Amino acid sequence: MKRRTLRQLRPKRQPENHHSVYVVLLDPAVGKIRTVRAANPDRKRKLPCVYVGMTGLTPEERFGNHKAGNKAASVVTRYGLRLLPELFAHLNPMPFEAAARMEVDLAEDLRRTGYTVTGGH
């Protein structure tokens, strides 16, 4: 096979900065789950419950996968309502390593603010 043909058959590389963090608004019923309450002892009940995640897809595609049950966090499948782009859109896109760190940092920042947070590994 000619080198030129081989290059055309290889999948196109994705841009280096194609990872994103995202935040999903969860139903307030999540706050009644014992493990969620234990992970958020300083939560403010007036602030929403959220899930923080990271993806190589667009946040919209990833949320769709959660709701369809594909590689999904059960809390998002059961309680996910919609994305909250006002909490994450300004951060995206970024390289994988930055996104992995940003997922943890964003979850910690939201938890410190008083949100009830799940995810954010």
End-to-end CA distance of the chain: 44
Do residues 79 and 119 make contact, with C-beta atoms less than 8 angstroms apart? no
Residue 3 has pLDDT above 80, yes or no: no
> pTM of this prediction?
0.86
Q: By three-state DSSP, how is residue 104 classified?
A: helix
User: What does the alpha-carbon distance between residue 111 and residue 118 come to, in Å, rounded to a whole number?
Assistant: 9
pLDDT given at position 17: 83
Average pLDDT over residues 37-60: 95
1, pLDDT greater than 80: no
Strand 116-119: give its sheet, edge to edge.
80-83, 20-26, 49-55, 116-119
Q: Any idea what DSSP says for residue 10?
A: S
